[in-house]
Amino acid sequence: MFMRQESHGGVSVQLITAKARVAPTKKMTIPRLELLGCCIGARLAANVKAVLEEDVVTLYWTDSSNALYWIQQNENWATYVFNRVQEIRSLSDVSAWRHVPGEMNPADIPSRGCSATQLIETRWWEGPEWLKLSEENWPKSEVQCDMDQVMQEKKKTVLSHFATSKVNPWYTQYFSS
């Protein structure tokens, strides 16, 4: 999580906290893992905001188009996605979620593995260069999600239909009225 502060001297960006998690041993799709990352980020931001005890503008960035689609669309998702989306929505404002291209995502630097030298050279803890620019110059990219993967997470419903006809029960033929 990066803190961006504007002052008369310019804009400063600084890493204030970070959290990572090892992927679970249970096989999970990449979009689900990315949604979990969004959920962890929303939790972390809520904790930091509680500690700061100040009203701060919070923006959430993800390079996952699928996770962003799930967060932004209020639909009946399958249990795993639904639970995480509901938690994200309770901790953050849906309109504060934005898409950043993967190559501009600072979270990808340590998560994809790099040496200490590479980490120092990138000055990762100072945040991405684009965040130091005015908001008009921040990344704007089209969200292009894999609709097949997205729709696999729709809640499946079973619809049953019974047709009946007006037929007298079998036993009525053996008895008089």
Domain segments of the chain: what residues? 2-173
Range with top average pLDDT, 23-27, 62-66, 85-89, 102-106: 85-89
Cα torsion angle, 142, 98, 113, 81, sign: negative
Q: Which of 46, 91, 45, 97 is nearest to 71 (CA)?
A: 97
- Taking the whole predicted model, whether its pTM rises above 0.95 is answered as no
Residues in the chain: 177
Name the burial class of residue 140, with classes exposed (0-12), middle (13-18) and buried (19+) by CB atoms within 10 angstroms of its CB: exposed
Range with top average pLDDT, 85-94, 134-143, 150-159: 85-94
Tell me: pLDDT of 162 over 80.
no
Given a contact cutoff of 8 angstroms between Cβ atoms, the answer to whether 132 and 107 are in contact is no
The pLDDT, as a whole number, for residue 127 is 84
Q: What percent of the chain has pLDDT over 70?
A: 91
